Amino acid sequence: MSMQASLTFGRRCQVTDLVVDRSAEHQIMAHAVTAVVYLAIGGILALLIALTRWQWVHLLPVNTFYELLSTHGMVMLIFWILFFEVAGLIFASTVLLSARMVAPIVGWIAYAMMLGGSLVAMLLMLTGRATVMFTSYPPLLAPPTYYGAVLVFAVGAIVAVVHFFVNVIAARRRGDVGTLPLFTFALLAAAILALWSLAAGAAALIPAFLWSLGLIGPPDPGVYRLLYWGLGHGAQQVNLAAMIGIWYALASLTVGAKPVNEGLSRVAIVLYVLFIQMGSMHHLLADPGIAPWVRNLNTSYFMYAAVMASLIHAFSIPAAVELAMRERGLSNGLFGWLRNVPWGEPGFASLAVSLVLFGVFGGISGVIMGGPQANLLAHNTLIVPAHFHMTVVAGTTAAFMGISYYLVPLVFQRQMMLPAMVKAQPWVYGFGMTVLCIGMGLAGHWGLPRRHWDVTFSSTGPLGINLLAGSAEPTIFLAIMGIGAIIAVTGGAMFVLSIVGTVFLGTRTATPDLGYVSPEAFAPMPALVAGGSEDHPAAAHAGAFEVPGTLVLALLFLMLFIALYGYSWIELSGIPMLFR
């Protein structure tokens, strides 16, 4: 693209040399700020909920607990994530391609619909007029305004996703880009998954909306659950695809890593599109309305294909980091490269936290619960939220935080505020989430329910007992969970404070200091921007295995996987003993 053409619609970034469409830039800012506001609200609600789950504190009264729990689910799993991802879609389809936005007015219409719908839905939940939890399963019924607001939000998100496709296609037709950058390719997969998820959500919520208006009878609960989880879990697969793209980007920014085999990485992303949505039926494994062959097909063959994709990324990204470090001579022995990676840089720290918490703890627990037999042990216990807090709350959110430390200074053209706090933030957040999920998981292991306000059931009149009386362990586990929540929310507050401070108080500059950034990150053909047209230099070292450290780490991961999977089956085999 010529300099003259670029200046007709934007500015040239003095750090990356990319052309930034002003309209796209403003919409990225709007979506990013809205996302961080929702993250702050969700974090406050999370702390209040955790301090209620901590039985010794038991902070909130019962009605308030369910109102805040309903709101927390929607705010954190839908609103924070989707606003951030739409900002990413706009960035990936315009700024990263040095291309202009095709129809800025369409982007603003999408933003207005998402903002209006989300605000109304959140206020109805917070004020106790739509206490139907995240899933809003029938026969729970909310007012028509709630379903209408959620549908308006969903349509706005669909418009934003379609606008992303239009921007990418237009950039290709103009010749602005050849092969899509890996980051954009991953977000393309996320956008495809988003369309599937939003369509499934609309199919579930439109009958519920009509039911709330009295126009039809209540939806079939089984059909509703099947359709709803196309949205409920599908939205998390959108997060997964976007997060994978961010992992590659962070590895490229912080150590100059390039995918060992970019073609294989792209194939793994395609596997998500083909299989991961079908495998998400594991939410319904305890549902009597699903035929056994459907459960087995979705929770075995389809899930295996999706897990294979994750295993490819789990090897490819650390391998790319190791290879980059070895090529720079920063390696000594099997794990010398690990000692020399930039642990103090927030981008790399976020990558490490996200990769370990999502890939190791979240991934293994997800596969175990994805099996029909072991799923019956964990169903509706605190093990389930322990799993998805490891994935979407710890892994995905940490990755989104990490990329923000680069994109926010560049897009807002502000110097990052509080750099010392920024360096500590990923570790504080990651440590807090680890403690929280360990406590939550152990409590779930003891069978404590995931949704009940009073897990002792001492307030339940007909029972008249305290299920925790005489057992110290669950009380300790819930205390660990509460302490972890305090630390994690502190880490989240550090992120919000640094981002908000940067956006509103940071020094204006066209060349913000991003900390250490690999010299290769903004080269003419970096891994983040280029489209896989270069062979990796490692190809020149034929005959030698280039990433032995990553191979050992992968084998250790597989051993842990086998051990935990086997242990779950040992526990399953012991169940009949309890009933003798």
Confidence label for 75 from pLDDT (cuts 50, 70 and 90) = very high
Give the integer Cα–Cα distance in Å for 246 and 353. Answer: 13
Residue reference for tokens 């009509």: 210
Cβ(308)–Cβ(272) below 8 Å: no
The burial class, CB within 10 Å (0-12 / 13-18 / 19+), for 99 is buried
Average pLDDT along the chain: 88
Q: What is the pLDDT of residue 519?
A: 67
Q: Which helix (H) or strand (E) holds 20?
A: strand 19-21
Give me the mean pLDDT over the 10-32 stretch: 93
Token couple for 64: 């308030």
496: closest CA among 32, 29, 36?
Answer: 36
Q: Give residue 484's pLDDT band: very low, low, confident or very high (50, 70, 90).
A: very high
Comparison of pLDDT for 175 and 301, the residue scoring more: 175
**Residue 426 Cα to chain centre, angstroms:** 15
pLDDT tens profile 530-545: 444 444 554 445 556 7
Distance between CA atoms of residues 408 and 509, nearest Å: 12
Neighbours of 500 (CB within 10 A): 17
What per-residue confidence (pLDDT) applies to 579?
42
Residue 537 is given by DSSP the state G
> Which residue's entry shows tokens 């459960």?
295
- Banded pLDDT at 527 (limits 50, 70, 90): very low
Give whichever of 54-58, 329-333, 422-426 has the largest mean pLDDT.
422-426
Residue 12, SS3 per DSSP = strand
pLDDT at 10 over 90: no
Q: How far apart are CA 530 and CA 524, in angstroms?
A: 8
Whole-angstrom distance, CA of residue 337 vs CA of residue 331 = 4
**% of the chain with per-residue pLDDT over 70:** 92
Q: In DSSP terms, which residues pair with 503 in a beta bridge?
A: none
Q: Which residues contact 468 (CB under 8 A, 6 or more apart)?
A: 55, 455, 456, 474, 475
**According to the model, what pLDDT value does residue 274 have?**
87
Question: What gap in Å lies between CA 79 and CA 137, rounded to an integer?
Answer: 19
State the pLDDT at residue 538: 47
Q: Is 368 helix (H, G, I), strand (E, B) or coil?
A: helix
Alpha helices in 127-181 (DSSP H): 144-174
User: Which of 288 and 46 is assigned the larger pLDDT?
Assistant: 46
User: In angstroms, what is the C-alpha Rg of the chain?
Assistant: 24
User: How many C-beta atoms lie closer than 10 Å to residue 492's C-beta?
Assistant: 25
More confident residue, 328 or 551: 551
CA atoms within 13 A on the CB side of 321: 29
For residue 520, what pLDDT is reported? 66
Give the pTM: 0.92
Model confidence at 65, in pLDDT bands (50, 70, 90)? Answer: very high
127 CB neighbour count, 10 Å cutoff = 11
Angle among Cα 36, 38, 40 to the nearest 5 degrees reads 70
What pLDDT, in 10s, does the model give residues 276-295? 877 667 778 778 878 888 87
Helix 234-255 vs helix 303-327: crossing angle, to nearest 10: 10
pLDDT given at position 318:
95
- Whole-angstrom distance, CA of residue 516 vs CA of residue 253: 9
Task: Give the type of residue at 276.
Answer: I
DSSP letter, residue 530: S
Neighbours of 377 (CB within 10 A): 17
Looking at residue 463, what is its pLDDT?
66
Who wins on pLDDT, 377 or 475?
475
Give dist(CA 193, CA 234) in Å, integer: 7
Residue 471 CA to residue 8 CA, distance in Å, equals 70
Q: Say if residue 455's pLDDT is above 70.
A: yes
DSSP-assigned letters across all residues of 208-221: HHHHHTTSS-PPPH
Buried b (16+ CB within 10 A) or exposed e, 425-460: bbbbbbbbbbbbbbbbbbbbbbebebeebbbbeeee
* 243 vs 400: CA distance, rounded Å: 7
In this predicted model, what pLDDT tens digit does every residue of 170-196 receive, in sequence order? 999 988 888 899 999 999 999 999 998
